[in-house]
Chains A and B, each alone.
Chain A
Amino acid sequence: MSLFYLLAVILIASAIFTITQKSPVYSVVGLLVNFLALAALYFTLNAEFLGVIQIVIYSGAILMLFVFVIALLSSGVGPFRAGPNRLPRIAAPALLTTLVAFGFLIFGIAQRPFGPLPPHRPTSFLGNVGDPNVFGSVGDFGVALFTVQLLPFEVTAFILMVAVIGVVLIAGDAVPQPTLGRHRPQKRAAEREPILKAPAP
């Protein structure tokens, strides 16, 4: 239980760190810590497969892409230029709403903290939840994905395909021709429409 609280504190602290940093790369580092702490939480629940996948997919692939994009967009280590700060105007109502929602949440959790799960809880497919190497193992996941959760699984795959095609459609404004050794990257860059327009002098 103390491990849970330690990880929870790390999770929340890193999340706050992520959203308060001016430099995007620091945010990414905060988010990385956040993901790793979350994976550790999964490990404490015996869901080792989920924990590992959390690291491989979220930290290893998705967040990596963030770093990639940030590195491409802001060469140089300075923070992004901040726009006008609109926060003061809505600070009070936002704070109020947050506190009320937070209060409700704490109230709700405090009603019966960590009580027993209801009788119709989802059980593991390979055996009893309490046994080692059953709940959260690769086999358990696989069976769940391909039996009871088959439709959500298929639809998720479909969503990913749609996302890929959509991105290609938006980004692929010019089909790159095979260069056959005559590589003129400068020319193609110049032909492309600039993403950021320079202000007129």
Chain B
Amino acid sequence: MTPHLIVPFGSADWAAVAPPTVVGVAALVVILADLMLPRRARRISAIAIGIVGLIVAGIIALQGWHHPYVAFGGAFIEGGFAIVFEGIVIVAAIFSLCMSYGFARDDQIGGAIALMLWSATGAMLMAGAASLMMIFLGLELLSLALYCLCGLAARASAREAALKYLILSSTASGFLLYGMALLFGATGSVALAALANPPISAALFDIGCGMFLVGLCFKLSLAPFHVWTPDVFEGAPLPVTAFMSVVTKAGALAAVARFAYAALPQRDHAAILIPLWIVAAISMIVGNVGALAQTDIKRLLAYSGIAQLGYIVAAMAGTSALGLRYAIFYLGAYMFMNLGAFAVVTLLSRENDEGSRLASFAGLGYRQPVLAGLMTFFLLALAGLPPTAGFIGKILILATDVNTGYAWLAVLLIVGTAISVYAYFKIVRAMYARTIGTPVLPRFVPASALPWVGVALCAIATLGLGLYPFAPSDILPLVR
């Protein structure tokens, strides 16, 4: 009675998962190259291979833009929606690699770059995941690599960050899995598409959705599930923090968006998602108020990220088509301004000092006027002032919130923005204020020129998106 085993998938299925596969394989090549190349060439070769792999993956992904395909029996959907998020992950990973030149010891750099690429692979899998199982597996791949990356720096705070991240994130994964189990129990399938069927028990379904969203909110670091973020961001090595601040969010956001837009049955759509909007509202306030008290720029950007994610999720309130478009636009804008700020910090960092303390910025406006100017620009963008992408993004979110009847979110967004301006200007003031007594600061010698490229590109993109807001319009039908 041996069954005739036919694998029901063809080359089109494998082609659909080609972009994450290419990134994953590139990481293996990085490790192999690390074994063979001389010690001096390791850093640059690892980063170069990683960037080439990511670019190739991006090109392959773009090929599928007009050819959406449901691969592996509905486990993975390649198409506009997935490609946009894959693109964001790829760009963020490239910028993070640019900042990674001085990262980790010589014998660890290959593995560190590989882990970063694998983490990106996980996020890309999440971008296309269309079954609960794939969402979970993508998330685990993403997080597992990040736990290791957090613990790489040889200092106590990094280990603390890794441990905190591991334990709290596992708890969140537990919530996520429990929610998925309940959803499976309520609908009898792990496919997101099956969630639209009438469930056995509506209450089970609701609780499942709730726990599922709690798990994802943790990964999105939305308040009140945000408590881990500042500590982990502060402890993790700088390139990892930069990477984490965008890629985790992009992956989890793709899952939330697919869940909210495509999976939920229309009848009890609003009721299930209301807590999500409330969480977004709390995040906007908590993130910005929390940012006020910070003296470490990594912590400040962590709180800023909490607030920005609040804005992005708020854009999806009412699950309108435009809302998703604007959320993606703002995610892209957030990526550029956030990574730009991180790249500036990278340029300031040197051995034993990551340059993230507020003191490192004292008088920067006189020592490094260009760098200080760019930093000011990124902070303005994060605060949402014109002429930047952050400004346009917020205007668009305000418009869509008012249109879909979530005016209270719009009001909170404005309040949050007002608070945030003060927080960001603390750094600007430190850079330009004439301090009494010159602080003893090391000479400005960046470890490599690569972050300069990152800073420049981020600045151009932030300005460009501010002047010409662009977001792909035809992705909503592809969410499924």
Measured between beta carbons, the chain B residues less than 8 angstroms from A184 are none
Measured between beta carbons, the chain B residues less than 8 angstroms from A122 are 188-189
User: B73 in the interface, Cβ–Cβ < 8 Å?
Assistant: yes
Q: Are A108 and B187 in contact (CB under 8 A)?
A: no
Least CB distance, B372 to chain A, in whole angstroms: 36
Q: Are B152 and A170 in contact (CB under 8 A)?
A: yes
User: B445 in the interface, Cβ–Cβ < 8 Å?
Assistant: no
Look across to chain B and name the residue whose beta carbon is closest to the beta carbon of A154: B17
Measured between beta carbons, the chain A residues less than 8 angstroms from B108 are 169
User: B1 in the interface, Cβ–Cβ < 8 Å?
Assistant: yes
User: B216 in the interface, Cβ–Cβ < 8 Å?
Assistant: no
User: A178 in the interface, Cβ–Cβ < 8 Å?
Assistant: no
User: B31 in the interface, Cβ–Cβ < 8 Å?
Assistant: yes
Measured between beta carbons, the chain B residues less than 8 angstroms from A73 are none
Considering the chains assembled together, what is the distance between the CA atoms of A162 and B145 in angstroms? 7
Look across to chain A and name the residue whose beta carbon is closest to the beta carbon of B143: A159
Segment with Cβ contacts to A, from B199-207, B271-279, B360-368, B418-426: B199-207
Q: Are B137 and A155 in contact (CB under 8 A)?
A: yes
Measured between beta carbons, the chain A residues less than 8 angstroms from B152 are 169-170
Look across to chain A and name the residue whose beta carbon is closest to the beta carbon of B141: A159
Look across to chain B and name the residue whose beta carbon is closest to the beta carbon of A148: B73
B11-35 CB contacts (< 8 Å) to partner A = 13, 17, 24, 31
Measured between beta carbons, the chain A residues less than 8 angstroms from B75 are 149, 151-152
Considering the chains assembled together, what is the distance between the CA atoms of A147 and B72 in angstroms? 9
Considering the chains assembled together, what is the distance between the CA atoms of A158 and B201 in angstroms? 35
Chain A positions 98 through 111: 1 when the CB is less than 8 Å from some CB of chain B, otherwise 0: 00010011011101
Measured between beta carbons, the chain B residues less than 8 angstroms from A101 are 207
User: B102 in the interface, Cβ–Cβ < 8 Å?
Assistant: no
Chain B positions 108 through 119: 1 when the CB is less than 8 Å from some CB of chain A, otherwise 0: 100110110010
Q: Are A151 and B72 in contact (CB under 8 A)?
A: yes
Least CB distance, B204 to chain A, in whole angstroms: 4
Considering the chains assembled together, what is the distance between the CA atoms of A163 and B146 in angstroms? 10
A70-115 CB contacts (< 8 Å) to partner B = 101, 104-105, 107-109, 111-112, 115
The number of chain A residues with a CB under 8 A from chain B is: 37
A120-173 CB contacts (< 8 Å) to partner B = 120-122, 125-126, 139, 143, 146-152, 155-156, 158-159, 162-163, 165-170
Q: Are A146 and B5 in contact (CB under 8 A)?
A: yes
User: B36 in the interface, Cβ–Cβ < 8 Å?
Assistant: no
Measured between beta carbons, the chain A residues less than 8 angstroms from B125 are 155
User: B441 in the interface, Cβ–Cβ < 8 Å?
Assistant: no
User: B225 in the interface, Cβ–Cβ < 8 Å?
Assistant: no
Q: Give the interface size bracket for B toward A.
A: 35 or more
User: B215 in the interface, Cβ–Cβ < 8 Å?
Assistant: no
B115 contact from A112, A146, A149, A169, Cβ within 8 A: A169
Q: Are A108 and B148 in contact (CB under 8 A)?
A: no
Q: Are A169 and B112 in contact (CB under 8 A)?
A: yes
Q: Are B200 and A118 in contact (CB under 8 A)?
A: yes
B313-341 CB contacts (< 8 Å) to partner A = none
Measured between beta carbons, the chain A residues less than 8 angstroms from B2 are 139
Least CB distance, A11 to chain B, in whole angstroms: 15
Measured between beta carbons, the chain A residues less than 8 angstroms from B162 are 170
User: A200 in the interface, Cβ–Cβ < 8 Å?
Assistant: no
Least CB distance, B21 to chain A, in whole angstroms: 9
Least CB distance, A52 to chain B, in whole angstroms: 21
Given A152-B75, A166-B147, CB of A159 within 8 Å of CB of B137? yes
Q: Are A109 and B201 in contact (CB under 8 A)?
A: yes
Least CB distance, B118 to chain A, in whole angstroms: 5
Q: Are A162 and B197 in contact (CB under 8 A)?
A: no
B162-209 CB contacts (< 8 Å) to partner A = 162, 182, 187-189, 194, 197, 200-207
Secondary structure at chain B's binding surface: helix, strand, loop or mixed? Answer: helix
Least CB distance, A40 to chain B, in whole angstroms: 19
Measured between beta carbons, the chain B residues less than 8 angstroms from A162 are 115, 118, 141, 144-145
User: A198 in the interface, Cβ–Cβ < 8 Å?
Assistant: no
Measured between beta carbons, the chain B residues less than 8 angstroms from A150 are 7, 9, 72
Least CB distance, A34 to chain B, in whole angstroms: 15
Look across to chain B and name the residue whose beta carbon is closest to the beta carbon of A166: B148
Considering the chains assembled together, what is the distance between the CA atoms of A179 and B427 in angstroms? 54
Considering the chains assembled together, what is the distance between the CA atoms of A129 and B149 in angstroms? 45
Q: Are B17 and A118 in contact (CB under 8 A)?
A: no
B375-424 CB contacts (< 8 Å) to partner A = none
Measured between beta carbons, the chain B residues less than 8 angstroms from A148 are 8, 73
Q: Are B137 and A152 in contact (CB under 8 A)?
A: yes
Q: Are A166 and B3 in contact (CB under 8 A)?
A: no
User: A117 in the interface, Cβ–Cβ < 8 Å?
Assistant: yes
Q: Are A111 and B202 in contact (CB under 8 A)?
A: yes
User: B454 in the interface, Cβ–Cβ < 8 Å?
Assistant: no
Measured between beta carbons, the chain B residues less than 8 angstroms from A121 are 188
Measured between beta carbons, the chain A residues less than 8 angstroms from B1 are 126
Considering the chains assembled together, what is the distance between the CA atoms of A159 and B17 in angstroms? 16
A166 contact from B17, B145, B197, Cβ within 8 A: B145
Considering the chains assembled together, what is the distance between the CA atoms of A168 and B108 in angstroms? 10
Measured between beta carbons, the chain B residues less than 8 angstroms from A108 are 182, 201-207
Measured between beta carbons, the chain B residues less than 8 angstroms from A158 are 24, 118, 121, 141
Q: Are A163 and B134 in contact (CB under 8 A)?
A: no
Considering the chains assembled together, what is the distance between the CA atoms of A121 and B73 in angstroms? 15
State the B residues within 8 Å of A (CB).
1-3, 5-9, 13, 17, 24, 31, 71-73, 75-76, 108, 111-112, 114-115, 118, 121, 125, 131, 133-134, 137-138, 140-141, 144-145, 147-149, 151-152, 162, 182, 187-189, 194, 197, 200-207
State the A residues within 8 Å of B (CB).
101, 104-105, 107-109, 111-112, 115, 117-118, 120-122, 125-126, 139, 143, 146-152, 155-156, 158-159, 162-163, 165-170
Ordered by A's residue number, 10 sampled pairs between the chains whose C-beta atoms are within 8 Å are A107-B203, A115-B200, A120-B188, A143-B5, A151-B134, A152-B131, A158-B24, A158-B121, A166-B145, A169-B112
- Sample of 18 more A-B contacts, CB < 8 Å, known A107-B203, A108-B201, A159-B137: A104-B206, A108-B207, A109-B201, A111-B202, A118-B188, A120-B188, A139-B3, A143-B3, A147-B5, A150-B72, A152-B134, A155-B137, A155-B138, A155-B141, A162-B115, A165-B31, A165-B111, A170-B148
10 shortest A-B CB distances, which residue pairs?
A108-B203, A166-B148, A169-B111, A108-B204, A151-B72, A118-B188, A111-B201, A155-B137, A151-B75, A162-B118
